[in-house]
């Protein structure tokens, strides 16, 4: 089978980081982020266009400076369970923290979504960089980087072990013999590790895709290493073509170093296409979008998120950028370190840094449908992604992409014309994981 592009949809709701003005758009319902029908419509439109997945982000801390979508939004697994009953093929990927959850409960919730959807669930594993979340879970301080990533690795291992509690043929449900369960096919986990002690078993069988698909989005050394070890899908930062190539090659190399097949990890870069009748009209709209969102107070608050929701407004805006390096370790360390380095090298004030982190950057995926399709094809051929995680400000803009760009990609043989499978794994071209107990007993069939 020739290599083809995967597409996922990331709905914005009323506007998250970098879309501060979206809630003001008359086409956006002010309750979009808590309206399940908004998500159902988005998922159905994406499914009609044969997208691989709907992707829902999340966080567990807010204050009054946070973007509109963060202030009032639905919990991902509840949301996706509702969407599952109104769709048939599209994957359903939810974000959940390995720092602020317990393995048994979260494994059960994702396994439930996997059954409700018929094998379409995915878990985006995050370690949480909002330091304020710790105080919502009884902790005075956010865990450091090393602890968070060590916990994440063990968390995934425990969840996968729990998902293998039942072998696939554990339930004969033989009325004549009076046998519902074959007890030899039920297995305790008995895990005792550095961060967790979980006996098991999970009280839920495996779904048609075996286990939910694991996604991850790390850009730091620890994040890249975690992704290479456990992820089956990655949400990559994107950036320039050269940066995307470097990230793609690095993750595939690391994956192979852990004895995994590089083709069994699908890398999705972020894409916010702007499609219009002409290239000029699309570029004008791109600039308009930037100006709609370019609010200094919001940019200053957004800068603080990389440093654990730090309040930069207490500093003189025209003084040199303050020494906040100690806050980076427990926040978004990779992004925070880049900000600090640039501020020092260019001797920037706090005001200049706040503007610089939100300065206008042209997206590669902007133009008439043919132009956008050309760029997607060029980046795909250059080895920058396996798929694109698409974000559109409005449903109208999603439809412009679906009606204009998707048919061109299909004509070029770059995107499917029908779903290959009923499960997320099947459509991503990922193997169904063999139950570890079945494999250990040597009962695996070719």
Number of H helices, E strands in the chain: 17, 12
Q: How far apart are CA 290 and CA 283, in angstroms?
A: 11
CB 188 within 8 A of CB 161: no
Residue 220 is labelled as binding a ligand: yes
Quickly count: other Cβ atoms within 10 Å of residue 90's Cβ.
27
Quickly count: other Cβ atoms within 10 Å of residue 146's Cβ.
10
DSSP state of 178: T
Residue bearing tokens 């980076």: 328
Quickly count: other Cβ atoms within 10 Å of residue 69's Cβ.
22
Using DSSP's 3-state secondary structure scheme, residue 294 falls into coil
Q: How far apart are CA 82 and CA 104, in angstroms?
A: 22
End-to-end CA distance of the chain: 20
Sequence-ordered strand ranges (E) for 169-265? 191-192, 197-198, 213-216, 233-236
Residues 6+ apart with CB under 8 A from 348: 320, 321, 342, 356
DSSP state of 329: T
Sequence-ordered strand ranges (E) for 379-425? 387-390
With CA atoms as reference, report the closest residue to 350 among 320, 374, 373: 320
Using DSSP's 3-state secondary structure scheme, residue 96 falls into strand
Q: How far apart are CA 182 and CA 184, in angstroms?
A: 5
Q: How far apart are CA 23 and CA 16, in angstroms?
A: 10
Structure-token pair, residue 366: 């902007």
Residue 149 is labelled as binding a ligand: yes
∠ CA 98-103-109, nearest 5°, is 95
Residue stretches of the annotated binding site: 58, 95, 149, 220
Residue stretches of the annotated binding site for FMN: 58, 95, 149, 220
């Amino acid at each position: 089978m020739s290599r083809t592009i995967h597409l996922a949809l990331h709905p914005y709701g009323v506007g998250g980081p970098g879309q501060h003005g979206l809630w003001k758009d008359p086409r956006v319902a002010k309750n979009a982020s808590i309206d399940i029908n908004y998500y159902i419509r988005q998922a159905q439109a994406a499914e009609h266009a044969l997208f691989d997945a709907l992707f829902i982000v999340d966080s567990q801390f807010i204050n009054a400076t946070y973007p509109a979508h963060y202030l009032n939004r639905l919990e991902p697994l509840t949301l996706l369970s509702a969407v599952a009953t109104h769709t048939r093929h599209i994957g359903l990927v939810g974000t959940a923290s390995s720092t602020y959850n317990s393995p048994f409960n979260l494994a059960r919730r994702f396994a439930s979504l996997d059954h409700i959807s018929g094998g379409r669930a995915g878990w985006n594993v995050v370690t949480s960089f909002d330091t304020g979340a710790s105080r919502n879970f009884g902790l005075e301080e956010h865990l450091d980087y090393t602890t968070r990533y060590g916990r994440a690795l063990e968390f995934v291992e425990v969840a996968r072990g729990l998902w293998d509690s039942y072998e696939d043929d554990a339930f004969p449900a033989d009325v004549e013999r009076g046998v519902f369960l074959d007890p030899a096919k039920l297995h305790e986990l008995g895990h005792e590790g550095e961060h967790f002690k979980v006996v098991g078993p999970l009280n839920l069988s495996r779904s048609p895709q075996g286990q939910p698909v694991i996604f991850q989005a790390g850009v730091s050394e620890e994040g890249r290493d975690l992704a290479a070890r456990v992820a089956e899908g990655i949400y990559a930062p994107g950036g320039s073509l050269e940066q995307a190539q470097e990230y793609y090659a690095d993750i595939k190399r690391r994956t192979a170093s852990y004895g995994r097949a590089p083709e069994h990890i699908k890398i999705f870069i972020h894409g916010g296409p702007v499609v219009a009748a002409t290239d000029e009209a699309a570029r004008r709209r791109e600039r308009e979008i930037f100006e709609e969102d370019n609010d200094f107070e919001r940019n200053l608050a957004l800068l603080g998120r990389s440093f654990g929701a730090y309040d930069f407004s207490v500093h003189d805006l025209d003084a040199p950028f303050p020494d906040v390096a100690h806050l980076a370790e427990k926040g978004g360390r990779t992004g925070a370190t880049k900000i600090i380095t640039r501020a020092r090298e260019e001797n920037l004030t706090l005001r200049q840094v706040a503007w610089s982190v939100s300065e206008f950057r042209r997206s590669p995926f902007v133009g008439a449908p043919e132009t956008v399709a050309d760029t997607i094809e060029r980046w795909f051929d250059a080895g920058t992604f396996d798929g694109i995680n698409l974000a559109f400000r409005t449903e109208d803009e999603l439809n412009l992409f679906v009606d204009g760009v998707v048919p061109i990609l299909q004509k070029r043989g770059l995107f499917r014309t029908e779903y290959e499978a009923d499960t997320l794994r099947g459509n991503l071209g990922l193997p169904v994981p063999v139950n570890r107990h079945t494999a250990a007993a040597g009962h695996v069939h070719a």
